[in-house]
């Protein structure tokens, strides 16, 4: 399944978005999302997702990679895919 996602995206143009526009698209997909604009900016600051800096204050991020990251799918430097499972700890 993960290889299919990677193969399907090889022949497509990346959906590059500014930080506010990526945030709006995530909110459109999931209005109840708890991701904040500040949280998204922190992900870029901490280099958790790749970005392209186009000017002094403008960053572009690949929307598909961001969505994969939020789903727990991560691409490492060797173009291999690793999957992180997120779970809620029982108390």
Model confidence over 66-87: pLDDT tens digits? 998 888 877 665 444 444 444 4
- Tokens encoding 90: 């029982």
Q: Percent of the chain beyond pLDDT 90?
A: 38
pTM: 0.69
Can you list the residues of the chain whose pLDDT is less than 50? Answer: 78-88
pLDDT at 24: 95
* Residue matched to tokens 């970005």: 51
Query: What CA–CA distances, in Å, run from 72 to 5, 39, 84?
Result: 13, 16, 5
């Amino acid at each position: 399944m993960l290889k299919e996602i990677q193969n399907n995206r090889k022949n497509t143009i990346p959906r590059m978005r500014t930080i506010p526009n990526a945030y709006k698209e995530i909110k459109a997909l999931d209005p109840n999302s708890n991701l904040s604009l500040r949280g998204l900016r922190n992900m870029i600051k901490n280099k958790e997702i790749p970005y392209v800096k186009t000017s002094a204050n403008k960053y572009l991020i690949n929307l598909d990679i961001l969505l994969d990251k939020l789903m727990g799918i991560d691409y490492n430097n060797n173009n291999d895919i690793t999957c992180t499972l997120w779970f809620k700890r029982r108390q």
